[in-house]
Amino acid sequence: MVLRYADGAEADLTFLGAVGRPGTPAWQGFDEQIQHWLGAGQQRQPAWLVADAEASDGVAVDVPAWLAAG
């Protein structure tokens, strides 16, 4: 996911793991979780970050671990 801020800055975030199919309750809940996370300053906890060589900063969010912690 690439976020573009009002000042033109961008952040490239990688999320790994199953969420559900678009339009299902799980997917809609994920959308709400993402909005809450963005609004809270995109805090990152070691418990749900995993190494990912393909991610721009070398780490990705493990979605099942992230949702379980929320």
* C-alpha to C-alpha distances, 33 to 15, 16, 27, 52, 68, nearest whole angstrom: 13, 15, 10, 22, 11
Per-residue pLDDT at 7:
92
pTM > 0.85? no
- Closest C-alpha among 12, 7, 20 to residue 58: 12
What is the C-alpha radius of gyration for the chain, rounded to an integer number of angstroms?
A: 12
In tens digits, what is the pLDDT along the chain, a chain of 70 residues? 777 888 988 878 887 777 666 666 666 677 778 788 778 777 888 888 888 888 878 888 888 888 788 7
Per-residue pLDDT at 22:
63
SS3 29: helix
